[in-house]
Every structure is written in structure tokens, then in C-alpha cells.
Amino acid sequence: MSDAVFQETTAQPRTQSVPLAHLSLELGHLYMEDYEAGPKRLAEHFAEVRVWADAVRASAARRGRRPRISTCFLIDDYFSRFSTPAELVPMVLEEAEKAGLVIDYLARESACAVADRVELAESVMNRLVESPPPGSHGSRPPVSRTGWLANGERSPATSRSALGAVKGWQPPQETAARNHSIFMDVELWSEKDGRRLWSCPFLAAVWQLARLGLLRHLGEPVLVPTVWEGADFPQEWDRLPPVVKLSDTGAAFSAYRTCTLMPNRFIAVEDAVRLILDQIDVDAGALRQVAERSAAERVPVPPAVAQRATYVFYEEPGDSAEAEET
């Protein structure tokens, strides 16, 4: 007589897959002041981005295959809500088109915090796994309490020992240092008016996970693009879907790798993004799906999630002139 084991179907975790392009190419992520500067500032941005976008496409094509590349653009409606979608989105699309660029997917940054009533940023925060530095003894409060994430051991506070001797200053230490440390300590959120305000690097880390096809909630994909079929965009940001598909591209929103084209003033932010990505316990099912499909397509994907994100930082118009004046 054999023993039968019965199990609820819902008890078996299932991670739903998402379509994947070879590359997700981000054509911009600007601040409110960039939009306030008007069409001229956007035209300058897209003219510079076009040069690098062409180079990225040529590099992808050089690998001997016809790459599936989708483009995206992230609008900051989280830290400030400048103008309306009805006014701002057409201006962005028009200036991109003038530069010979097509934006396939447009996303709202606030959706990286909350989308479709799902607390995405909170969900990702709960998946953070701090890497304890060698010799640490648990005296540092966890990131869930402090809102700060480091890549090593912070410099300890000067203290007095039991015998009265004052312990001198000790330098911080990077956990995975090679010869010398590059220590970083990143603020993930702050409290403002009684609510949590997520930092730009943390929201950008959520954004990268979505673009890499690794973001799930209870096994279901999130930030799934919605085809925009209306003639006019809404007057309120909350009425615009989290991610909107604007073109007829066949390339998926998410991809094996990402490349972000942005001004060099974002370098520090994106360094922080990579630190965060290195300490997230990414959904195992999503990671496995990407690994299996990339292997089937013979598209090498780095094991480390942070290494799947690449960047091109360009010099903004006016930077050279300011440098010469100083």
C-alpha cells in the first residue's frame, strides 16, 4: 500500500514569466528643472542621447545577432509633479522624434513606489539582505530600522574603554575590497510629514529590477506595460498607467540587460543603485527563468544582477563652459 501525499495547488509557488528583449535602452531620466527649462533643454538632451543610442545599437548588433531592443523613458512624478501628462508627455515625445528617437515605453517614477495598489518599494525593501562585514558583532541596527545600507563596516564612533583609554578613529572598510576600500553608505528613505519618502537610488533600483524582468509580487509580474490607445493623455498623473506602451514595437519592455543613457550628474545615484542591487534577494523563480531562456538563446547574462545594468554618462551642454570659467 503506497502512501499518497495531498497538497493544495496554491501551496506550490509559481513565478509567472515575462517576455524579454535583449536590451532595455533608457533614453532619459530627468529632474523637474529639466522640464521647466522647456523644449530647448529636452532637444539638447535627446540630440546627445541619439549619438550614444546609435553606438549602443551598433555594439549590440556587432555580436552577430539581430538584437531585440526596446527603449524607455522615466518621468519623475514622485518627488515633484510638474505640469500634467497632457502637457508634458507630448512635449517629450515630440522632442525625441525630432532627434530621430522613438520611445517605446514611458513610465512614472511614482509607480516604483506604489503601482496598482502594490507597495513595490516596501516589497523590495523586505528582500534586502545586508552583507555582514568580517568581524562585525551585530551592533549596527538593521537597514529595516535605520533606512541606511552600506557596502561594509562603518567607521566606529570614538569610545572610551573600561581602563579609561580612548580608542582612536578607525576607517570604514568595504566588505569586498580589492587592495583598498571604496566605502558607500546609502540612504534608502527618509520620513516626511509622517510618511516614508523613498530615495532616488532606491526607486531607481526598483526600476532596474523591473527592466531586467526580475520584479514580482506573489509570483505575479508588476509594472506590466499598458497599451495607450487614447488620443490625449490625462490631466492627472495618477490616471496615467504606471508603464505605457507608446509604439508598435515587438521588443518587450523587460530585457536580459539594461543600458541607461543619462547626464553625468547621475553618476553618484547610479553607484548607489548598484550597491542596493547587490544586496537584494531577488525572486529565485524569476532568476531561474532568465537564466534558462538566456542559455537557450545563447545570450550570456552575468550572475550578479548589478552587472546586468550598464550606463553611458554624457557631458551636458554648458559643463565645458563652466569648467573653463572656473
Contacts of residue 4, defined as CB under 8 A and 6 or more positions apart, other chains included, come to none
- Between CA 126 and CA 237 the distance in angstroms is 27
**Domains, in order of start, for the chain:** 15-126+190-325 (3.40.50)
What strand order describes the sheet that includes 226-227?
226-227, 243-245, 105-108, 69-75, 21-30, 255-263, 309-314
The mean pLDDT of 71-90, rounded to a whole number, is 93
Give the per-residue pLDDT at 9: 45
Please report the beta strands in the chain, taking only residues with DSSP state E, as ranges in sequence order: 21-30, 69-75, 105-108, 148-150, 152-153, 173-174, 185-187, 189-192, 195-198, 216-217, 220-221, 226-227, 243-245, 255-263, 309-314
Give the per-residue pLDDT at 5: 46
Task: Look at residues 68, 85, 89 and name the one whose alpha carbon lies nearest to residue 22.
Answer: 68
Per-residue model confidence as pLDDT tens digits over 197-233: 999 999 999 999 999 999 999 999 999 999 998 779 9
- Between CA 40 and CA 34 the distance in angstroms is 10
Q: Among 91-100, 140-149, 261-270, 288-297, whose mean pLDDT is lowest?
A: 140-149
Give 219 or 319, the one with higher predicted confidence. 219
Residues 37, 78, 278, 287: is their CA dihedral positive or negative? Answer: negative
pTM of structure: 0.88
Give the per-residue pLDDT at 137: 53
Q: Determine the 3-state secondary structure of 272 from DSSP.
A: helix
CB 253 within 8 A of CB 72: yes
- Between CA 103 and CA 248 the distance in angstroms is 10
User: Could you tell me whether strands 21-30 and 69-75 are parallel, antiparallel, or unpaired per DSSP bridges?
Assistant: parallel
Q: Among 3-12, 89-98, 186-195, 215-224, whose mean pLDDT is lowest?
A: 3-12
Per-residue model confidence as pLDDT tens digits over 141-196: 788 888 999 887 777 765 555 555 656 777 787 777 788 878 889 999 998 788 89
